[in-house]
Structure 1
Amino acid sequence: MFPVYILEDNDKQREFYKSIVVNTIVINDYAMKVFDVGDVESFFNVFSETQYGLFFLDMEIGEDVKAGLKLSEWIRKNIPNANIVFITTHEELSFLTLERKVSPMDYVLKDFAVEKIKSHIIDDVNLSQKYYDNDIYSKRTTFGYKIGSKYFSVPMEDLILLYTDKNLSGQVNLVSKNRRVSFPGNLNFYEKKYSNLLRVDKSSLVNNDKIISYDSRKRTLYLENGINCDVSLRKSSMVKKMFK
């Protein structure tokens, strides 16, 4: 689920922005979830670790004229793929976003006409979805790994399973339609990089598109090419929901 965060301490304005975002999501059937908050502390209370996200930030929160700018620096540092939009009265602070290398997607002034603000927000939501789709598609087409100084790739449509063996620390085993190979790495890295790889237990990542069936009693997942793997008790309910 792609997250959209709105930070605005004026309740009326925040509800206005939220209504535009939600309406755009509904009209386009986007898989997005909106979080709206009135202060920075509340932002961190609702924030979840993510690779992507759209952030609508007011520059001035309470008595702090640069609260939104400070938060944007944290966002850019921790979420490189984030799309940041400032909605503010402080036109004079726009140069600081360049100076601090925040690279905002948009800078919307509150004294714009209502329809212009609405148009900017709609465009920002649509563009974020487009960027997300393009990035996910490019990452889904191939799976890359490295052995020594050489780089290799496997078509994502051929990749079936990644797993680790407790007797071979620091190694990842790859199973595809026509290849089995081991290389240095860890599953956490690949789980974050490739959104179509599903963590089914601490030592296995499966390609969503290669799942055939699931035996919930045995907690066994059956994949293409006659391959199967165990599902942890903690992940079992998630896998069952997928089949429902």
Structure 2
Amino acid sequence: MLEVMICEDNKVHRAKLKQLVENTILREKLDLKIAICTENPKEIINYIENNNRTGIYLLDVDLKNNINGIRLGEKIRELDSFGYIIFTTTHLEMSYLAFKYKVEAMDYVIKDDDDFKERVNSCILKSYNTYHKGRHKEDYITINTDTRVINIRPSDILFIETTGTPHKIRIHEENRQIELYANLKDIQEKLTSNFYRCHKSYIVNKDKIEEIDKKYKKVIMINGEECYVSFRYMRGLL
């Protein structure tokens, strides 16, 4: 899943930028989330190092820190080569530094400009569309709900299960769960051959199985979650 990370030292500007991103996500029904919003560039670096994700980064250039926004962008580029970096600043004259340090920024947006909101919104949408329709297009399935358009990469799915609510399913990934109204049969038709209907209530990604417990008829996934296998489907799974 694509995530948004914000680094801005000014508390007021940080709150406004966060609200701007949240409004864009809601208005455009984007499958995005703000993973971190901070004044500390080291928090951004630590998060990227501990989470193997591609991100959209909104970085203030003039951070009141020993690491400025350009240097932070340089470090981000080392850790996330496909990330989308957008600089925000009041100092247009510093834009040349982004080229000097080979940050490959998407845009350099001036905070005081009248079109600041439109420019940030445009960058987020362009990043999102490029991520899903370009480099990663071949891997994604798209699910439309009443409130969101969700792009899911099958290789991220551990298993899918029915819920206690009629016609509602839950998709399990390692770091999130998604609930939506659908049925397992329709979802299975969109999935690749490594997915197996192991129970009337479960579809499992065989590539994400850590262990099969034949005695208790259950599957343990790589993150420790469990799902069940019915007797009639155990042989096919094995």
TM-score computed with the length of structure 1 as normaliser = 0.61
Correspondence list, 1:25-36, <5 A: 25-34=25-34, 35-36=36-37
Q: Is the 8 A contact 1:89 1:110 kept in 2?
A: yes
Residues in 1 aligned to 2:96 and 2:121: alpha-carbon distance in whole angstroms? 24
Distance 1:136 1:13, change over 3 A: same
Aligned partner of 1:77 in structure 2 is: 78
- Superposition deviation, residue 81 in structure 1: 0.8
| RMSD over equivalenced CA pairs, Å | 3.5
TM-score computed with the length of structure 2 as normaliser = 0.62
| Gapped regions of structure 2 (runs ≥ 5) | 141-151, 159-189, 213-218, 229-238
**CA-to-aligned-CA distance 1:162-190 (integer Å, 9 cap, x gap):** xxxxxxxxxxxxxxxxxxxxxxxxxxxxx
Deviates more, 1:97-106 or 1:44-53: 44-53
Q: Is the 8 A contact 2:3 2:53 kept in 1?
A: no
Q: Quick one: percent identity of the two aligned structures?
A: 25
Residues in 1 aligned to 2:5 and 2:122: alpha-carbon distance in whole angstroms? 16
- Superposition deviation, residue 135 in structure 1: 3.1
Q: Is the 8 A contact 1:7 1:14 kept in 2?
A: yes
1:197 aligns with 2:197: no
Correspondence list, 1:1-244, <5 A: 1-34=1-34, 35-47=36-48, 48-64=50-66, 67-113=68-114, 116-135=115-134, 137-140=136-139, 195-198=153-156, 209-210=191-192, 211-215=195-199, 221=204, 230=212, 231-232=219-220, 234-235=222-223, 237=225
Residues in 1 aligned to 2:205 and 2:27: alpha-carbon distance in whole angstroms? 37
Residues in 1 aligned to 2:197 and 2:43: alpha-carbon distance in whole angstroms? 41
- Count of residue correspondences: 175
Distance 1:111 1:42, change over 3 A: same
Residues in 2 aligned to 1:96 and 1:238: alpha-carbon distance in whole angstroms? 50
Distance 1:220 1:83, change over 3 A: closer
- Superposition deviation, residue 124 in structure 1: 0.9
Residues in 2 aligned to 1:236 and 1:39: alpha-carbon distance in whole angstroms? 33
Residues in 1 aligned to 2:197 and 2:17: alpha-carbon distance in whole angstroms? 43
